[in-house]
Structure 1
Amino acid sequence: MSDSPPSLDPVQLGAYFSLIEVTSLLRHAVEQQLREAGDLSYVQFQLLARLGDSPTGSHRMTDLADGVVYSRSGLTYQAGLLEKAGLVTRAPSADDERSVTVTITEAGRALLEKVLPGHIEVVSGLLFEPLSHDDVVALAGLLEPVRTHMRSAPPRSAAPRRRKNGA
């Protein structure tokens, strides 16, 4: 029996590196556009976009953390910045006083409307322009089972917290 560590074949390795590079280049361009158009970080934009898409304009902090794949403490900090800017409000959840609900304000919706056209332009130009419609359908079909597989593990915000003293 071989004890060699698992490895990736050259095609898998190439696909992995291409995916990482494409993701990094796209994220860099999107972050730059969001900063210039609305002085928003990528995570702040994700939060506003998720809240803006919600029928109520609200989500629980834990659900937001799971959705944007961000730590609870990091999300609390980002939501605090958005609240200070008047883009969201935070309040105890009506159905669970231990939870916090975040709600987008009219100013948050206005900023989202301001940055969204440029965001769409960057994503469309960099990611979708070199692809045919059939390529985009194929890409979506390839990524969906990978995302589902990765999301099948409990989200970070639901994982037990480790104690600092090792207990």
Structure 2
Amino acid sequence: MTDTHAGADPDADGVEPLAPRQLGAYFALMEAVSLLQHGVEQQLRAEGDLSYVQFQLLARLTDAGGPLTMTQLADGVVYSRSGLTYQAGLLEKAGLISRGTFPEDERAILVTITDKGAALVRRLLPGHVEVVRRLLFDALADDDLHHLGDIMSRVRDHMRAQPPRSAAPRKRRQAR
């Protein structure tokens, strides 16, 4: 069921504004995500000197159980190619990942978590879980958790049905 303005007037661009409940849900979601990400980022910086994105990359590599391409990582963490290349460079310099060419396609770069990187994820995980539990899950009853998981899975799947960011053509720089 959608919450729409019956007969709401479009703005100057012809776009119908969000209904009050839609706007409220959007702002609550964005604030909750920002607060959760801030809490997680603080824990990761304090305990492991990692950014949230760096931890996401290491966690994805750990979860994958093997190497991933840079494109798979970019799509998985929803991060720009250039930003990912920069972050991967920092992680490689710290000895947490290694990068190499893909035998079947030399254009693709394979990323592998090192033993040092896997050990860091294992060390950070208890604190990470504590922060997530305290900030997110402690506020929810079991039924709430079921509904939240269902809702967010549907929203994520809807968003993921769009072509991945890696499939978008790169923007060309204009000549000056």
Scaled by the length of structure 2, the TM-score of the pair is 0.90
Match of 1:25 in 2: 35
Q: Does 1:47 align with 2:63?
A: no
| Bigger Rg, structure 1 or 2 | 2
Which of the numbers 16, 20, 30 marks the counterpart of 1:10?
20
Aligned residue runs from structure 1 range 53-68, under 5 A: 53-56=63-66, 58-68=67-77
Mind listing any 5+ residue stretches in structure 1 that lack a counterpart?
none
Runs of 4+ in 1 over 4 A off after TM superposition: none
RMSD of aligned alpha carbons: 1.5
Aligned residue runs from structure 1 range 74-153, under 5 A: 74-153=83-162
Cα deviations by residue, 1:91-134 (Å, 9 ceiling, x for unpaired): 00122110000000000011001111000000011100010111
How many residues align? The count is 165
Distance 1:109 1:10 in 2: 45
Match of 1:73 in 2: 82
Cα deviations by residue, 1:45-81 (Å, 9 ceiling, x for unpaired): 000000011122x100000000000011110110010
Distance 1:50 1:34 in 2: 16
Match of 2:5 in 1: none
Read off the aligned partner of 2:62 and give its amino acid letter: G
Cα deviations by residue, 1:116-159 (Å, 9 ceiling, x for unpaired): 10000000111000101111110011111111111111122220
Mind listing any 5+ residue stretches in structure 2 that lack a counterpart?
1-8
Percent of residue pairs identical: 61
Distance 1:83 1:30 in 2: 22
Secondary structure, counterpart of 2:59 in structure 1: helix
Scaled by the length of structure 1, the TM-score of the pair is 0.95
Distance 1:96 1:111 in 2: 30
Which of the numbers 41, 47, 52 marks the counterpart of 1:37?
47
